[in-house]
Amino acid sequence: MKTKTREIVPNEIIHLVADINYTTIYFKDGTSFYSSYALGHFEKKHKLPSNFLRINRSIIINTDFLGKVKNEAGKMYAYLQNGNCFKISRRRTFLFSEFD
């Protein structure tokens, strides 16, 4: 993928976070990029590799950077290697049965 100001290499992406009709992309080098495209655009148009999973309405994670998945009080959370923690939608928990 190439944007106007930065080339985006999928294996460098840790996660993507939706912000209304924009997306913030977080990279493994600690930088981030604010894109004017919605999260669905990256899912459909750019066809992210299979290691990218949408865990809820606003977050896509790269499972290469997934540290652990925890089930806490009936709710499932994805912990990334960089320390970020995100709640997994109950409708998407089946995607993480192999990680639990």
Over residues 31-62, the pLDDT tens digits come to: 999 999 999 998 888 788 999 999 999 999 99
Statement: residue 87 has pLDDT above 60: yes
CA pair distance 25, 48, nearest whole angstrom: 13
Which run of H or of E encompasses 41? Answer: helix 39-44
94 is written with which tokens? 């089946």
Q: In this model, does residue 98 exceed pLDDT 80?
A: no
pLDDT(89) > 60: yes
- pLDDT in the model for residue 1: 55
Domain ranges of the chain: 10-96
Average pLDDT, whole number, for the chain?
A: 89
100 — pLDDT class (breaks 50, 70, 90): low
Which pLDDT score is estimated for 4? Answer: 59
Give the rounded percent of residues in the chain with a pLDDT score beyond 90. Answer: 68
CATH number for the segment(s) 10-96: 2.40.50.1020
Span 73-84, average pLDDT: 94
